[in-house]
Structure 1
């Protein structure tokens, strides 16, 4: 059992409230997954900025002080990159005015043992082990602005309790996936993806789902088609939420074993594992509230 809370803000006047609203939602799903947690926030000032790429690295200690990492990156990147390295909670953020491919290569050369947990031009990803609300507080979630937010509280079933095994899994630019449930055939799909050259960072079954979606998008699927194809290939009980730079998607398994509730209004789309996580959202009394149908992919774009 895990908890999911996701929020897409359609009304720009609510963007400054993103962190406060997501934190309030997250507080109501802690008992569904008390051992670890993760966050993804989009277009948050101070974490991402126009014309730059941001990488999130697991842990605040990378074996080098930030200034040394910046110096090393500076030798590998164009002089205009202006690489910046900083710790946020138990996460290291690396930002530079270059494309994600070039920055990924420079980070790998500088920090060969680092685990990349988020990448893109719009997203910052944070993970940790411990009480989910403490993890949110350590990263300063409540004060963050943004266009979208995604949170997950984990009760580990398919792999160990580690920060690396926490959700969301972000394995392509601005793409994040969280999962409540379990995939019964993930080992078979992992082997097939490995044969295709896909590299994994954890033993978590959710990472297999994220890598599969990223692979389908790379092959030309749109988000809805990628998740439809996932439903044809993956066995198990699950609710998935996937976010991109400007989209949010929800899908449940064909018998809807795992809970999900959605609130939709002109101002926002919100999804949570339980209604109580939605109850304090502004205008909830007039929002359209519904449970997603089994096997149906729902998508929304900003």
Structure 2
């Protein structure tokens, strides 16, 4: 079944409230996906640095790890630990060297996301508890995407939790199922896109990564997905400055959106949006099938 939430802020004054607003939305979707949950937050970046969100185990010593990786960097390597995850900030020019050293010395630690602004956190458990573990309510930023998962076709694991990210500052959550993901996976691998799981959602993320990497705008990449992805799906997508929504031509999965002068919001059900400020005066609608919706910051 699964549940999706998304929030794109137009009003900078709301940015300190992004995490609290997203937490309330995510908690509402517990019954649509009690197995695991995850979220992506687009917060402030640091000039000249890239953030890597890492996922380890409860026993991972991220501070020691950061110290060892700092030996291959030309500048400061900073780390912020949040439960089983940590955000590593490294000089932009050292990204490849740090990732290579991480893979060689700590193969058990996964790179969940990387980019100037995005941070992704996900774990097994009830969505409200996952949000609490990572301190989502205290996070700030311009936009966020969340997902609650009900694992109907695979095991309940953190690897299967959304969002998925296969490119810098890009991520995707998905409600539905793709029928041609294995064929598409092989095609994308030939183009240099790497995958860590067998999840069809990661393939969809990889598809958009490739389109954006080749110069497509977010709207153009979503248009291409309509032609190249088979199955039933609702996607909510994040990029460094953008937020997009796409439903397949049949649109059998539920979706509702709301827009005010201050924000654009997405939920699998209207009750997700009910706690948002000004919702009574918002324009509320069901996104049309096979029509990309996207918003981007200037």
Please indicate the TM-score interval, normalised by the length of the shorter structure. over 0.9
Choose which of 256, 266, 273 in structure 1 pairs with 2:261: 266
* Alpha-carbon offset, residue 102 of structure 1: 4.4
Distance 2:65 2:58 in 1: 11
CA contact (8 A) 1:248 1:301 kept: yes
* Alpha-carbon offset, residue 89 of structure 1: 2.0
Q: 1:142-172: per-residue Cα shift (whole Å, max 9, x none)?
A: 1211111111000123432111111000111
Structure 1, gaps ≥5 residues long: none
Match of 1:171 in 2: 166
Match of 1:153 in 2: 148
* Alpha-carbon offset, residue 61 of structure 1: 4.7
Q: Does 2:216 align with 1:233?
A: no
Match of 1:301 in 2: 296
Choose which of 208, 212, 230 in structure 2 pairs with 1:217: 212
* Alpha-carbon offset, residue 68 of structure 1: 2.7
Distance 1:211 1:192 in 2: 10
* Alpha-carbon offset, residue 237 of structure 1: 1.0
- When the two structures are superposed, what TM-score results if normalisation uses the length of structure 2? 0.94
* Alpha-carbon offset, residue 59 of structure 1: 2.5
Q: Does 2:115 align with 1:120?
A: yes
Q: Does 2:175 align with 1:193?
A: no
Q: How does 1:1-302 map to 2 (within 5 A)?
A: 1-44=1-44, 48-61=45-58, 65-78=61-74, 81-99=75-93, 100-302=95-297
Q: 1:185-215: per-residue Cα shift (whole Å, max 9, x none)?
A: 1112112223334321001110010011111
- When the two structures are superposed, what TM-score results if normalisation uses the length of structure 1? 0.93
Count of equivalent residues: 296
TM-align CA RMSD? 1.6
Distance 1:10 1:273 in 2: 21
Q: Mean alpha-carbon deviation: is it higher for 267-276 or for 221-230?
A: 221-230
CA contact (8 A) 1:60 1:87 kept: no
Structure 2, gaps ≥5 residues long: none
* Alpha-carbon offset, residue 50 of structure 1: 3.5
Moved over 6 A (4+): none
* Alpha-carbon offset, residue 87 of structure 1: 2.3
Distance 2:231 2:223 in 1: 15
For residue 224 of structure 2, give the secondary structure of its aligned residue in structure 1: helix
